[in-house]
Amino acid sequence: MPDQSAFETILFDVADGIATITLNRPERLNALTTGMAKELLAALKTCARDDAIRCVVITGAGRGFSAGQDLAEFSQVSDDFSVADHLRRGYNRLVLALRELEKPVIAVVNGVAAGAGLGLALAADMRIASDRASFVTAFIGIGLAPDSGVSWHLERLIGPARAFELLATGRKVTAEEALRLGLVNQVVPAQELETTVSALARQLAHGPTRSIGLTKRVLNKVATLTLAEALEYEAQIQDIAIRTADHREGVRAFLEKRPPQFSGK
Ligand code: T3D
């Protein structure tokens, strides 16, 4: 596991099966730099490899979640800079790493999430927002089209008309509206955010991690399948789930009328 001193722009902490990744450039609302994207990728690789990590929480230090690409860094690029390559090397890998990580990922949206920062929040499995959080697509404000998976996730979460509206106007969505739209799972008062997330993360970290991972695999896949294909895919995945120790423990615990002790195996 990389130790915390290996990172300059994020905090990485593991306790009780939960890895917490904190974007840590609060004076810039945790705007994302190339270095930060590399550190995030390294942290997510550790989360994937380490069996002791059974839930991942991503949040921001200070009053923001993340304001997206650091525009100061962006304004200093050379003439031969390719934005497509920058995206392929950075945010595209990050979004895929979050989606392909077979462990639950909770985005704790403590403040504004904009641009690629919104992309990271949308790539998590659940979003718990503070009542001070807000959501801004931001691309249109600087004359860009969406990237970082924001178009893909927004269209699926809130439908094409609302996705278009948020992308084309760039207007700020409050936490309450985000809840109504289905962008977030829950909104809690800022002072209760930590307690709420810690209870949820603990529940997930003590769950049957492989089944949760397989559930994520199924949801990722069925998005592009017909019903008949999805049924077949579910059947194949269930063949894997039924062989896990946690399945055996779940059934044994039910029959013995006691709570299950899942090991994540
Ligand atoms: O190649 C590629 O990577 C292209 C990919 C692009 C992906 C993207 O993410 S594009 C979108 C980039 N993000 C934005 O355009 C958002 C810009 N920021 C804002 O619109 C606003 O800051 C917010 C709506 C997010 C929050 O507004 P507010 O009023 O709460 O805060 P603020 O006062 O604007 O910002 C506080 C500080 O953070 C401020 O610094 P200062 O003046 O106190 O020294 C501001 O400049 C800085 N900051 C905010 N966002 C960014 C930033 N600095 C660098 N980059 C930012 N994105």
Q: How many angstroms from the chain centroid is the CA of residue 50?
A: 18
Tokens of 185: 């799972």
Residue nearest to atom 6 of ligand 1 (CA): 69
Residue nearest to atom 22 of ligand 1 (CA): 67
CATH architecture of 4-205: Alpha-Beta Complex (3.90)
pTM of the entire structure? 0.97
Where does CATH 3.90.226.10 sit in the chain? Answer: 4-205
CA of 188 to the centre of ligand 1 (A): 24
167 lines ligand 1 (CB under 6 A): no
242 lines ligand 1 (CB under 6 A): no
9 lines ligand 1 (CB under 6 A): no
Question: pLDDT at position 77, please?
Answer: 87
Q: What is the DSSP string of 165-206?
A: HHHHH-PPEEHHHHHHHTS-SEEE-GGGHHHHHHHHHHHHHT
d(CA 262, CA 265): 8
Note the pLDDT tens digit of each residue in 150-208: 999 999 999 999 999 999 999 999 999 999 999 999 999 999 999 999 999 999 999 99
Where does CATH 1.10.12.10 sit in the chain? Answer: 209-255
Q: Tell me which of 1.10.390.10, 1.20.1510.10, 1.10.12.10, 3.40.50.1000 is the CATH number of domain 209-255.
A: 1.10.12.10
144 lines ligand 1 (CB under 6 A): yes
Note the pLDDT tens digit of each residue in 79-121: 899 999 999 999 999 999 999 999 999 999 999 999 999 999 9
Residue nearest to atom 52 of ligand 1 (CA): 28
